[in-house]
Every structure is written in C-alpha cells, then in structure tokens.
Amino acid sequence: MAEDKQPDEISAEEQALADEWAAALDEAGDAGQDDIDAMLEQSNAEPRMPMEEFNSPARADGDDFDPGDSPNLDVILDIPVTISMEVGNTDITIRNLLQLNQGSVVELDRLAGEPLDVKVNGTLIAHGEVVVVNEKFGIRLTDVISPSERIKKLR
C-alpha cells in the first residue's frame, strides 16, 4: 500500500504531474457526459481498416500491392529465425548426463533411417533426410507441413 505523504513531502515530479492534470481539466472546461458520449459515437462511426488475414491467398497477377487485398509480408522477411534439424531426443537423468564422456552412446527415440524433424524457432515445419553437399551436411526436405497445420499446432 502506498505511504501517506504530508503536503510538504510532495516531490517536484508529483507537483508537475498535478499541474498538468489541473491544466488539462481547465482546458476541458465543463465538458459533461453528453460531450464524451458524442465523441465516442463519432469515433465509432468512422470506417476502420479491415484486419488483414495471413492465410489469405497470395495474388498471382503481379499487380501493384494494394493493402486492402492482402497482407504486406515484406515487413517480416528480414527477421532472423533459428532453423534446426532434430535427429531425435531422449530423457536422461542428470546423474547419467554428468557421466557422459568421449565415446559415450546416447540412445535416441528414433529408428535408423527415419526422417529428421526440421524446426523453425522450435516449431516443426518439415521432415527431411540427411544429404552431403560439397563435403558438408545438408537436409533434403521430404515432407513440408502446410501453414494451416502449423497454425493448428500453435493453438
């Protein structure tokens, strides 16, 4: 609970805030509830921009972008995300984790040859298989989860 202050203990910041409120109330004059209701009705009567839906079909005709037709995804295209490939996982105790050393084998929950999970920021988006590209590991996507299915998993 806030401490009760004596009038002589009011800080300069609190006094400035009180002065701003007093000026705003003086400026408002004798505006009553009817004036407030009229302002609210006026703001509700103004047409609003419809909410954009990200699952709406993309335009294929190549016309100029019209904000009323589809969402502008350009604003998110440069946001970095983390993509990871998961071979499998398992649960172990901390005791067993601390006993791991070079040469230890950890059994995973996947069978050999099963597809890997491809995750973006921890959300499963596809399955794939390991390939070698220019002496580096890569992944060939074998099954991509549809955007609608990904959205359902988020809920």
Q: Provide the CATH number for the domain around residue 138.
A: 2.30.330.10
Using the 8-state DSSP alphabet, how is residue 114 labeled?
A: P
Whether 19 has a pLDDT exceeding 60, the answer reads yes
- Is residue 136, in this structure, part of any structural domain at all? yes
- Is residue 86, in this structure, part of any structural domain at all? yes
Please give the pLDDT value at position 47: 59
Q: How many CA atoms, within 13 angstroms, populate the side-chain half-sphere of residue 38?
A: 5
- Is residue 117, in this structure, part of any structural domain at all? yes
Confidence of residue 65 (pLDDT cuts 50, 70, 90): very low
- Is residue 116, in this structure, part of any structural domain at all? yes
Q: How far apart are CA 60 and CA 56, in angstroms?
A: 12
User: When comparing pLDDT for 144 and 61, which is higher?
Assistant: 144
Please give the pLDDT value at position 68: 52
Q: How far apart are CA 128 and CA 115, in angstroms?
A: 5
- Is residue 33, in this structure, part of any structural domain at all? no
Please give the pLDDT value at position 127: 93
Q: Assess contact for 119 and 83: CB atoms under 8 A.
A: yes
- Is residue 94, in this structure, part of any structural domain at all? yes
Confidence of residue 13 (pLDDT cuts 50, 70, 90): confident
Tokens in use for 31?
Answer: 């505006």
Neighbours of 108 (CB within 10 A): 13
- Is residue 26, in this structure, part of any structural domain at all? no
Whether 38 has a pLDDT exceeding 90, the answer reads no
Mean pLDDT in residue range 39-51: 60
User: When comparing pLDDT for 53 and 21, which is higher?
Assistant: 21
Q: Which of 98, 143, 135 is nearest to 116 (CA)?
A: 143
pLDDT in tens, 81-138: 999 999 889 999 999 999 999 999 999 998 888 899 999 888 889 999 999 999 998 8
144 Cβ partners below 8 Å, 6+ apart? 125, 126
- Is residue 71, in this structure, part of any structural domain at all? no
What pTM does this model have? 0.47
Angle (CA) 34-36-37 rounded to 5° is 65
Averaged pLDDT score across all residues of the chain? 76
**Amino acid sitting at position 57:** P
Structural domain span for residue 87: 82-100+112-154
**Structural domains of the chain, count:** 1
